[in-house]
């Protein structure tokens, strides 16, 4: 084990440079994020992930954000275990009817100000599962959404670009 630890010190870090911020996401945010809330949150955001019916593909890629290549925490993001500690709710899935109440309750449990980021094509409009008797069809049909990151699933790179937009200023507001 010691050898592995020493190697870690000697070797160059695997962590890659931050990708450019997603312009599309910036535009969507500009319309929704208020200057005051932005100033209060600063550059440290606590994320609570909620699977509202995803196939688990989005979760796998959200997990990847924590690996050495993407290292999400260097930007001030951290995943937290309770909505009570969260600034950002990262929601995946088409929102199944069986998860609707759990999503609403988790949303209500998160303190204001808060942002909701809908991750994946299912979270956008139900995706592949739109029209089913068992799904609501998109996160915005249940709770207000500030930002959509599309993809099936979005790559960690795309997730990073979207999340970084949260930290960047739509109108100089978020710095």
Total number of residues that touch other proteins (CB under 8 A) = 50
Query: What ranges make up the beta strands (E) of 66-174?
Result: 77-79, 88-92, 115-119, 147-149
CB atoms within 10 A of CB 125: 17
The reply on whether position 140 binds other proteins by CB under 8 A is no
Cα–Cα distance for residue pair 119/138, rounded to 1 Å = 10
71 exposed, middle or buried (CB, 10 Å; 0-12, 13-18, 19+)? middle
Residue among 6, 42, 73, 82 that touches other proteins (CB under 8 A): 82
The reply on whether position 132 binds other proteins by CB under 8 A is yes
The reply on whether position 63 binds other proteins by CB under 8 A is yes
Residue among 41, 46, 53, 148 that touches other proteins (CB under 8 A): 53
The reply on whether position 24 binds other proteins by CB under 8 A is no
Helix axes 57-64, 156-167, angle to 10 degrees: 70
Residue among 86, 96, 149, 163 that touches other proteins (CB under 8 A): 96
Residue among 25, 33, 62, 86 that touches other proteins (CB under 8 A): 62
Residues 6+ apart with CB under 8 A from 139: 52, 91, 95, 103, 116, 118, 123, 124, 145
* Minimum CB distance to other proteins, residue 36 (Å): 29
Nearer to other proteins, 60 or 171 (CB): 60
Q: Which region among 21-29, 35-43, 92-100, 166-174 touches other proteins (by CB under 8 A)?
A: 92-100
Residue among 22, 87, 136, 146 that touches other proteins (CB under 8 A): 136
Find the Cα–Cα–Cα–Cα dihedral 104, 107, 108, 114, rounded to 10°: -150
Q: Which residues of the chain form contacts with other proteins (CB under 8 A)?
A: 1, 3-5, 14, 49-64, 66-69, 79, 81-83, 93-94, 96-102, 106, 128-129, 131-136, 152-153, 155
């Amino acid at each position: 084990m010691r050898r592995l630890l020493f190697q870690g010190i000697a070797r160059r870090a695997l962590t890659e440079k931050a990708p450019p911020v997603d312009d599309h996401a910036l535009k969507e945010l500009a319309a929704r994020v208020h200057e005051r809330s932005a100033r209060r949150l600063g550059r440290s955001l606590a994320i609570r992930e909620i699977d509202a019916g995803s196939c688990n593909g989005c979760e796998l890629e959200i997990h990847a954000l924590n690996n050495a290549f993407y290292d999400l925490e260097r930007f001030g993001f951290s995943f937290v275990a309770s909505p009570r500690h969260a600034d950002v709710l990262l929601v995946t899935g088409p929102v199944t009817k069986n998860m609707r109440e759990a999503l609403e309750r988790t949303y209500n449990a998160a303190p204001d100000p808060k942002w909701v980021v809908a991750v994946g094509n299912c979270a956008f409009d139900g995706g592949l599962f739109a029209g089913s008797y068992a799904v609501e069809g998109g996160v915005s049909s249940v709770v207000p959404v500030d930002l959509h990151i599309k993809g099936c699933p979005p790559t960690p790179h795309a997730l990073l670009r979207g999340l970084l937009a949260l930290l960047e200023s739509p109108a100089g507001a978020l710095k």
